[in-house]
Amino acid sequence: MKEEQLLGRYLLEDLSDEERERVEESYLADDDLYMKLLVAEDELIAAYVEGELSRRDRAKFEQAYLTNPHRLRKVESTRELLEFFAEKPPRPAPRPGFLRSLLQGLRGGEPRAVYALAGLILVVLCGLLSWALVERQRMRGELEMARERLRRAESELQHQTTAQTPPPAPTGGGDAPPTASGVESSPTPPPPNAGGERETREQKYPRRTVPDGSAAGGRAVASVLTFTLPRPGVRTRGGSGRAAEPLVIPRRVALVRLPVKVAANEYTAYKVSLQKLGGPVVLAQTVSKAQAGASGERVNVELPASLLTNGDYILKVMGEDEILALHQVTVVRQNPPRR
């Protein structure tokens, strides 16, 4: 007989006297067997209370347990306990989280899970797109503001340049000799409080005055330095188009502007290049339209002062395949940039 069966029969008093005494002697000596016996009794009582015993075993049980007050108390305790837990509603299974249920659904190939995942991806993509659009808008706004600031600075510069531009030299119809200076002094500031305008930077921060003809490059407006080159039509052949005076660039100048005079509206776009004599091209740009000025059309060549070092440069302005202006300029840096 298996041990579990033997213990069950012992509890139901369904063993011979000899077998019974052997079992009793065994569990008194063996703690493990004693524990098994207790568990077996617990299960037997529960089985009786739940009506799971056979008729024969039920009769034996009632004879062994219901006639003894201590054992009867055990039966009553078990019945109370089972009734107590049987009355409780079944514990709902904990709901898995959204991601877990989604993964489970995907593993199981559920269409709902697939749609849910697709929906999730769509939401994420829409979120990213919205963010990108907002960011783009913001950056556009900042760019516009920066452009606006630049436009204001340019128009201020233009205004000051116009006020300071020397009268054009008398023309003989053809080539005109370059101006003595080759350099236009930087625009002087407008008369104080002219037209109620605000104080210019030059009024606020006056710099040294340089008369016309000076090779010093004139005043700097902010960090932009403008040099005026001779009129169009001046072509060099064999280097004779060298400007008489060098372009002196002070240390603090960040941008150098070289307005080159061209014929009015001759071309829609102009190619400009600046090459160091015997060296590399430091600037190659396309200017879409000539700027109108009091003294005619100009192509504004702008480049960072850091590109220019001491030495000779060739400045070329072309319209399609025609050279419109060719200048050789000498650049002098007051404090040349470190290379």
Enumerate binding residues for other proteins (CB under 8 A): 10-11, 13, 21, 24-25, 27-29, 31, 34-35, 37-39, 42-43, 50, 52, 64, 67-71, 77-78, 80-82, 84-86, 88, 90-91
Report the length, in residues, of the chain.
Answer: 339
Which helix H or strand E contains 299, and what residues bound it?
A: strand 296-304
Question: Whole-angstrom Cα distance, residue 327 to residue 179?
Answer: 13
Question: Whole-angstrom Cα distance, residue 288 to residue 110?
Answer: 61
**Single-letter code of the amino acid located at 166:** P
Specify the residue for token string 């829609």: 268
Sign of CA dihedral 206, 211, 216, 221: positive
Q: How far is the CB of 121 from other proteins (least distance, A)?
A: 34
Of residues 33 and 263, the one with the C-beta less far from other proteins = 33
Of residues 11 and 262, the one with the C-beta less far from other proteins = 11
Q: How far is the CB of 25 from other proteins (least distance, A)?
A: 5
Of residues 88 and 338, the one with the C-beta less far from other proteins = 88
Of residues 12 and 314, the one with the C-beta less far from other proteins = 12
Q: Which among 42, 18, 23, 41 is positioned nearest to 33, based on CA atoms?
A: 23
Task: Give φ, ψ of 313 to 5 degrees.
Answer: -130, 155
Q: How far is the CB of 68 from other proteins (least distance, A)?
A: 5
Q: How far is the CB of 76 from other proteins (least distance, A)?
A: 8
Of residues 93 and 294, the one with the C-beta less far from other proteins = 93
Q: How far is the CB of 134 from other proteins (least distance, A)?
A: 47
Provide the token pair at 44. 């037997």
